[in-house]
Amino acid sequence: MSKTLIQLRGVSKSYTRAKQSIQVLDKLDLDIAEGEFLALMGPSGSGKTTLLNLIGGLDQPTTGSVNIDGTPIESLSSNRLAAWRARNVGFVFQFYNLMPVLTAERNVELPLLLTNLSAAQRKKNVAIALEVVGLSDRAHHKPKELSGGQEQRVAIARAIVSDPKILVCDEPTGDLDRKTADEILRLLQTLNTDYGKTIIMVTHDPKAAEYAKTQLHLDKGRLVEAAHA
């Protein structure tokens, strides 16, 4: 039995939009084991991305606690949370969010600029990450010179280059065709099985969710259903 890596207790999140308070997550409890590959599904507005943001330390709950690998991240200051994210979480977005002015290798190097690694060590780590995603030959290309699938691979390389325990993926295949999406999902699966990354993936796509070990469904800020592969 794997240990619990992510533990959410009584997590609620509400936003104020146009002077109206909107409850996005409602007293949610969730345990995610280390090495899990979890797909979060649900209709738009169900709170999937909000939950992902809380797990990734991008946002903080209105009430409740988010404990990740023993760290209660809801109590961290902005700067400490930033440092925590840099060490523990890799992010993959639907639209890749690469820096258009940087080459693939410089994009992948970005998280390492926050470390004390030497330039040579950074270069080595970048080369390994690009090799893992199968893009060593595209290291010097800028994002506009890459296909969507390749861009997402670069984004994944950027997410894993600092060797975080957790990968947070928000609709990682939402902008890709079926074939490319399957390649990306297989890559995520490899990272989960071969490299032990704990992956939490938000998706609308049931086929994408099938790649995960566990599927969770959210509706109106509550967990409604769980399925195991």
Residue 133 · residue 191 · CB < 8 Å: no
Interface with another protein includes 101 (CB under 8 A)? yes
Question: Does residue 6 sit in helix, strand or coil?
Answer: strand
Q: Which is nearer to another protein, 143 or 149 (CB)?
A: 143
* Closest distance of CB 49 from another protein, Å: 8
* Closest distance of CB 89 from another protein, Å: 9
Interface with another protein includes 44 (CB under 8 A)? no
Residue numbers 49-78 binding another protein by CB under 8 A: 53, 56, 58-59, 78
Question: Does residue 108 sit in helix, strand or coil?
Answer: helix
* Closest distance of CB 9 from another protein, Å: 21
Residue 54 CB partners (closer than 8 Å, separation 6+): 8, 11, 13, 25, 60, 61, 66
For another protein, the binding residue among 114, 224, 226, 229 (CB under 8 A) is: 114
Which residues contribute to the site for another protein (CB under 8 A)? Answer: 53, 56, 58-59, 78-79, 82-83, 85-87, 91, 93, 97, 99-102, 106, 110-111, 113-114, 158
